Amino acid sequence: MVQQANSSNLFKPRESVSVTNSVKLPRVAKGKRPSFFSDPGVDQLYSITLELAAELSVALDRIDSLERLLDQQALLSRDDIEAYRPDASAEAERAARRDAYLQRVFRILEQDPGNRDSGGNG
């Protein structure tokens, strides 16, 4: 059963459901990164692709959940969502989130810079 939301608590996170409060995982794995291909650049591209796939999957699930809940509770329709245009403040928040996202996706290039090759251009 979906609980009715009012405008004051619609976007507040639920503290009782948070797993991050009790589990602390390391941000960087210990030890040497496994290599699956003879070219380290291919391993890096594979890591980037998997990171993008994981991020996109989570984002699409969350978007679908939000759209269904908003539509179901008659707070917004999917057409309202399609018609929305963000203001400058929202754009700035999105830009900051996008920067953090790109840092996560491309962190493999910073974690293991020794495996990058000049690509034959030098």
Q: Name which residue leads in pLDDT, 33 or 69.
A: 69
* pLDDT tens figures, 60-89: 999 999 989 998 998 888 888 889 899 999
- Give the pLDDT score at 83: 92
First to last CA, the chain: 62
CA distance 114 to 29: 17
- The parent domain of residue 51 ranges over 39-114
Residue 47 pLDDT > 60, yes or no? yes
How many domains in the chain? 1
**pLDDT band, residue 109 (cuts 50/70/90):** confident
Specify the DSSP class assigned to residue 95.
Answer: H
- Give the pLDDT score at 61: 92
- Give the pLDDT score at 107: 84
Cβ partners under 8 Å of residue 21, min gap 6: 15
Taking the model in full, what pTM does it have?
0.51
- Domain assignment present for 61: yes
- Domain assignment present for 33: no
Q: Name which residue leads in pLDDT, 110 or 53.
A: 53
